[in-house]
Structure 1
Amino acid sequence: MTAVPPAEILTADGPVSETDRRSLLKALATAPLAAVLASPALAGVAASTTTMVTLDVPGVGPVQAALALPEAQKAPAVVLIHEWWGLNDQIKSVAADLARSGYVALAVDLFGGKVATDAEAAKAQIQAVKPEVATATMVAWISWLRQHPRGTGKVATLGWCFGGGWSVNASLATPVDATVLYYGRVPSDPVALKALKGPVLGHFGEKDQSINHAMVDPFTAALKQNGHPADIYWYDADHAFANPTVARYDEADARLAWERTLAFLKKTVG
């Protein structure tokens, strides 16, 4: 594993000066996560506090992720999986926020460094993903986190949309202590879902036209059939309701979902 320094902060007007960076870092210390995610400048400075790390995965090659470390010398770990946009400053910002909350946070990159800014490019990115490569990548990072010198050995997965589906996929591929997903595609086979080891927390929108009750209810029923601990919440919101940069953002539901996520992580991994 190798590490590279964090990237400089860029905005539409160019690189951020050191003076502005210090001001943004000061603002970051008290800004709520929603405000950080909604501000490209704050998200940029939050992302700059993470460090890019590289891992050589057998059969795959080198893969990257953004690592954020807490003040504590030992802490549980959370592996974050991005939306169809890719590993952008937003996802790195969430990793930084989780580190401030006391977790070893690792935001993985399943798109090989590509980041989309429009739906057409984002769709092409997820269509290019090879499931066997993504699975091997997730398994390798989870194993890396379990052995990390700053970790306690406990690992949770957390993802949104594309990443929500892969939060579950990763948890099926290798044991984790907890699984969190936001409006991601889910399986419904009770036999396959027996591979899950830790509790599950799911956040879904009633107005979501694709990740809807027809998909999620069989998943919930299968977990119940297996006697698997799960908290599945539905919000009067649409897909991507937790993303402040899109029109479907719902501030109240996003805040509630994040509060529930933090409480769930504390209960399951510490």
Structure 2
Amino acid sequence: MHYYLRPAVLTALTLMLIHTQAGAEMHTETIDYTVGDQTFTGYLAWDTEYGQKRPGVLLVHEWWGHNQFVREQAEQIAAAGYTAFALDMYGSGKLAQHPDTAKQFMQEATSEPEQVKARFVAAMELLKNHESVDSSRIAAQGYCFGGAVVLNMARLGLDLDGVVSFHGSLGSPVKAEPGQIKARIQVYTGGADPFVPTEQVAGLVTEMQQAEADLTLVSFPGVQHSFTNPGADAVADQFDIPLAYNESAANRSWQGAMTFYQEIFNLPSD
């Protein structure tokens, strides 16, 4: 099967300054861009305190869609010295408030693997072309649905230095071939996450060993799904689904990811 990817086209842009510190400014942009004939809305963040070109990090949202949580994560990554782009996998305006709608949006987005790849690559090219980014140093991280997306992009052999999955699904119909994966991989999962059972964890380890991939996997005992999101508990109560924020796991996985980026990008430690 063949697909045509039209380069991402910038159709609207809003620039905002978040804060000023010692002459530096945190910049954010809400960006409308197109892939094929559909419009998507992403969020770019970078801090001018880091004057030189720096690595770029793509973020892929949870199954709810491109929301405030993923934007806040982008700002934290920017504050750590990277340019972050929180992409949109569903299309402008597609933000779910109910699990049934989130499931529908996710199924529509993943109905064809080529479509997922096209949307990811368009966002990656947009990030690479930003004036603050060293286009030779790009990584990606995702949450839940987004964690599965970034793992699949690694499986497909995209030119990424690294990918990080936070409480993402680990199983996939896409299987990596030996020598195909270019990215180093980090996975953080909850040991009590019913959406990521033990069989998925074991299956990923076996798959990555056979593919000769560089995998680090951390499982937090007793931790449930969506452990990085402080809003998880309220959603769990509202819809009676097994989600729970865990501050320790969230902090440990974040620090692990930041150390990972320092390593893969050959950056000096703090």
Which band: TM-score by shorter chain? 0.7 to 0.9
1:234-255 C-alpha deviation (Å, 9 max, x unpaired): 0020111111111211111111
Aligned to 2:47: 70
Instruction: Assess if the C-alpha contact under 8 Å between 2:155 and 2:176 holds in 1.
Output: no
Aligned residue among 72, 81, 84 for 2:60 = 81
Aligned to 2:79: 100
Q: Give how far 1:191 is off.
A: 4.2
SS at match of 1:83: coil
Q: What code does the residue aligned with 1:56 have?
A: T
Q: What code does the residue aligned with 2:82 have?
A: Y
Change (3 A) 1:123 1:56: closer
Q: Give how far 1:170 is off.
A: 2.4
Q: Give how far 1:116 is off.
A: 1.5
Correspondence 1:147 to 2:121: no
Q: What code does the residue aligned with 1:81 have?
A: V
Instruction: Assess if the C-alpha contact under 8 Å between 2:38 and 2:91 holds in 1.
Output: no
Q: Higher strand fraction: Structure 1 or Structure 2?
A: 2
Aligned equivalents of 1:66, 1:191: Cα separation in 2: 30
* 1:201-220 alignment, distance < 5 Å: 201-220=186-205
Deviating more after overlay: 215-224 vs 74-83: 215-224
Aligned residue among 89, 102, 112 for 1:122 = 102
Instruction: Assess if the C-alpha contact under 8 Å between 2:41 and 2:87 holds in 1.
Output: yes
Instruction: Assess if the C-alpha contact under 8 Å between 1:208 and 1:238 holds in 2.
Output: yes
1:90-117 C-alpha deviation (Å, 9 max, x unpaired): 1101101111111110000111121122
Root mean square deviation of aligned Cα: 2.5
Correspondence 1:241 to 2:227: yes
Correspondence 1:195 to 2:180: yes
SS at match of 1:93: helix
1:59-89 C-alpha deviation (Å, 9 max, x unpaired): 3543331111122231100000000111111
Q: Give how far 1:223 is off.
A: 1.4
Instruction: Assess if the C-alpha contact under 8 Å between 2:178 and 2:212 holds in 1.
Output: no
1:157-211 C-alpha deviation (Å, 9 max, x unpaired): 1001000000112233422110100122234776447432011000011101121
Q: Higher helix fraction: Structure 1 or Structure 2?
A: 1
SS at match of 1:207: coil
Q: Give how far 1:6 is off.
A: 5.3
Aligned to 1:232: 217
Change (3 A) 1:4 1:144: closer
Aligned equivalents of 1:249, 1:191: Cα separation in 2: 31
Aligned to 1:55: 33
SS at match of 2:201: helix
Aligned residue among 256, 263, 269 for 1:260 = 256
Gaps of 5+ in 1: 8-21, 30-47
TM-score with structure 1 length normalisation?
A: 0.78
Aligned to 1:4: 13
Q: Give how far 1:124 is off.
A: 1.9
Q: Give how far 1:136 is off.
A: 0.3
Change (3 A) 1:193 1:61: farther
SS at match of 1:109: coil
Correspondence 1:164 to 2:142: no
Q: Give how far 1:221 is off.
A: 1.8
Aligned to 1:250: 246
Aligned equivalents of 1:191, 1:50: Cα separation in 2: 35
Aligned equivalents of 1:170, 1:226: Cα separation in 2: 14
TM-score with structure 2 length normalisation?
A: 0.78
Aligned equivalents of 1:209, 1:61: Cα separation in 2: 34
